[in-house]
Amino acid sequence: MSTPQTSVPQAPQRPGGLSRRTTWLLVVVLLAVVIGAIGQLVKMPYAIFSPGPAQDTLGKTDNRDIIAISGTQTYPTSGRLDFTTVSLYGGPNYPVTFWQWLRAKTDSDSKIVPEEQVFPKGVTGKQVEQENTAEMVGSQEAAEVVGLRAAGKKVGETVTVGAIGKGRPAEGRLKVGDRIETINGGPATTLSAVHDRMDVVTPGSPVQIVVTRAGARQTVSVPTAKDPETGRAVIGISLAPKYTFPFKVAVNAGDVGGPSAGLMFSLAIYDKITPGPLTGGKEFAGTGTIDTEGTVGPIGGIQQKMVGARDDGVDYFLAPASNCGDVKGHVPDGLTVVKVGTFDEARTAIEKVAKGQTSGLPSCG
């Protein structure tokens, strides 16, 4: 006797139907799209510093010299004097998304800080842009003053009263726009001269200030107060220096804002108007603010700027002495960091390296 064969009938498939595998795949893709979109929409209360590009101040950007000088003799340069940048995310213009925050958490070259450390609460995007632009313009002017004076060029200078603090000793005595001529009988027509004159004043003693107001000179007696932080005598004004340059210097830095390229701008200006390449063909990068007296000031994001310099292939990095705490322990392999506190120190360090005298350069330890 034969055993009967049995079979299980298959469910008919509907024409054009999706298999279970395809359906699940579509669900996964849809979820990924939704999660990705949510990650882009969620804003994180942080600012992120990441390494940005470096630009050679002796070179060009958008087919224009970064430092363009006309009206005087210029000289050939060599090597590189790079100013370094950071890519900064956060604030009202570029709020940090969840995905940017997550990437930065896994990137050892990026730094995450609370947003309010960089962008004060309530600041608008336009205010941030205006501040960055103003700082860059001020930095360029200071660099021009320092570079030209270091090269022996005469830069005319006058100092006027830019602002007067409410309730401060100068209120009701000096006026915004007054041009300062002398303090206690001594010339005070430059920022450094004003500071020197005030440094020897005993807090509480009045000062006799000769100003030019509406074209006429007059003497004003102004009481002083003691600055609680420095102990110096102050009268409660902000100074607004004005400069007269012997020829034209234009800085074309693209869309870079802020004051941190001041040191490198001043070195490039000096290099272009003095005989012989300052660098001796060597490649340098650096950062730091500069004031008109040649003092180099601290900046933010120096660790990321050192990474950018290393990625650009330079060997030497000029770092503000006041940033040494952030430099220690974070110097990329292959990069030599030189500590500088003034324009003269930076220039001297470059000249030594150019001559092959690389031992004993000041460092952050």
Backbone angles phi, psi at 2, to 5 degrees: -90, 150
Count of Cβ atoms closer than 10 Å to residue 187 Cβ: 14
Which are the contacts of 209, defined by CB distance < 8 A and separation ≥ 6? 174, 180, 182, 183, 188, 219, 220, 221, 222
Q: Strand 289-290 relative to strand 283-286: parallel, antiparallel, unpaired?
A: unpaired
- Point out the catalytic residue in the list 153, 272, 282, 305: 305
Residue in 178, 253, 186, 241 with CA at minimum distance from that of residue 212: 178
Q: Which amino acid is at 51?
A: P
Angle at 148 between CA 61 and CA 287, to 5 degrees: 50
Give the span between the Cα atoms of 31 and 25, in whole angstroms. 10
Instruction: Report residue 7 as tokens.
Output: 């079979």
DSSP 241: E
Instruction: Report residue 115 as tokens.
Output: 């947003």
- Point out the catalytic residue in the list 260, 266, 282, 339: 260
Instruction: Report residue 278 as tokens.
Output: 């300052």
CA-based torsion, 335, 345, 150, 248: positive or negative: positive
Q: In this structure, are residues 80 and 132 in contact, taking their beta carbons and an 8 Å threshold? A: no
Catalytic site residue 260?
A: yes
Active site residues: 260, 305
